[in-house]
Amino acid sequence: MIRHGWRGPGWRVLDGHPEHGKTVRDWISRVVTSHDCPVDPDDAALVATELFANALMHGPAGGRVLVGYCLWIGGARIVVCDGGGATRPRLRDPAAIDEGGRGLCVVDSISAQWGSIRLGQAQVVWCDLGQPLDAAADDAWTWLAWLLTAVPLTATGTGPAPMCGAAGRRVRWPSHHVAPTVRAIR
């Protein structure tokens, strides 16, 4: 969907398994490249992979992970949601010998801005690449709040996770929904 210079949102919901990291990386890179987004596709792929890995590590075991994007004239927002872990995402200063703890440092160094919010039970971590998104918070998260009510991220044991928005089974978009308005980038 493209409205007023806005492309997306697009999303996929995957079973929370490390083998899907490559799928996430390749998909986000393809999206950014194919839509002439001014963001480096390798940067977008890297932050999506880091956020996906964090969702696996800190989200509930056996759950699903939603990876999404929104693109605009000056940038991209990458969004990753898990079913809601016990901790909040935060930057760490890991010791040189620590094996982990650098994912958000990578995201912080590449992105224009990043943050996290809770939407219902879901933990949402997002980052803007390129020019930060200039939209009201309600506009920026309407699509995701709606989607999280339609697509559960908790473990259900009912088979593979649906691929939504970008391929496979599509979640029906409410007919009254209008994509967020992004103010003109000057």
Over residues 40-53, the pLDDT tens digits come to 999 999 999 999 99
DSSP 35: T
Query: pLDDT of 72-121, one tens digit each?
Result: 889 999 999 999 877 776 666 655 555 555 578 889 999 999 999 998 88
CA atoms 97, 110, 87, 26: torsion sign: negative
What pTM, to 2 d.p., does this model score? 0.78
pLDDT given at position 169: 37
Q: Using pLDDT thresholds of 50, 70 and 90, give the confidence band for residue 37.
A: confident
Distance CA 49, CA 30 (A): 14
- Percent of the chain at pLDDT exceeding 90: 40
Architecture of domain 2-150: 2-Layer Sandwich (3.30)
Contact 10, 68 (CB under 8 A): yes
Question: What is the rounded distance in angstroms from the CA atom of residue 88 to the CA atom of residue 80?
Answer: 14
Domain ranges in the chain? 2-150
